[in-house]
Chains A and B, each alone.
Chain A
């Protein structure tokens, strides 16, 4: 089973600042890495798939990069609605797995 490790666990930032979230895989997942956003009381929402492709309707301030084992989600300028928990997820191996999440909180 591929283990995904996200860092940091919590990111404290102010609106307008840039957020950089990391996800590291225990073995290569090629580019088969997705990012999800989850707000309290809601189901997760797909943001980025295959490392760098924005899902339909996702604002351009969200971008993803990386391949192999190291991936990054960048939010270029945080909006108030972006404060949430973010999960990475791999589909490089059929036993899909999620990272443990990074909480982006208001500083």
Chain B
């Protein structure tokens, strides 16, 4: 069974750093890209970027380029999304999804990130 299991909810202060994770299982982790999708409170879905776990090549949406970093450790079948300095506007649910040439059949359960002073 394909599963993407994300790390738990986070509460952070503005200016803090954060790295959240997405662990894949039930399939060959290096055979599919992993995408990250943001959903701000009460809003729609926004594609942030993706990574090829086989070589860590990344693509970013222009809206998120330079604001977040996507990485992966294929040895433990895990992808990451990180911020160096969080803002209140980063408060959102972040989903990882297995990316089959832009189709998202499998999703993680979501990570709620709350940034508040």
In this complex, the interface size class of chain B, counting residues with CB under 8 Å from chain A, is 20 to 34
Cβ–Cβ contact B95 & A43, under 8 A: yes
Q: In the complex, how many residues of chain A place their beta carbon closer than 8 angstroms to a beta carbon of chain B?
A: 24
Contact with A along B70-102 (1 / 0, CB 8 A): 000000000000000000000000010000011
Main secondary structure of the interface of B (DSSP, over half): strand
Task: Check: B107 CB closer than 8 A to any chain A CB.
Answer: yes
A-B pairs with beta carbons under 8 Å apart, 14 shown: A34-B102, A43-B95, A43-B109, A49-B103, A89-B47, A90-B102, A91-B101, A91-B102, A95-B59, A96-B50, A96-B102, A97-B47, A99-B44, A101-B44
- The contact of A87 among B44, B59, B61, by CB within 8 Å, is B44
Q: Give chain A's interface residues, CB within 8 Å of chain B.
A: 1, 32, 34, 36, 38, 43-46, 49, 55, 85, 87, 89-91, 94-101
Query: In the assembly, what is the distance between CA of A100 and CA of B103, in Å?
Result: 17
Task: Check: B45 CB closer than 8 A to any chain A CB.
Answer: yes
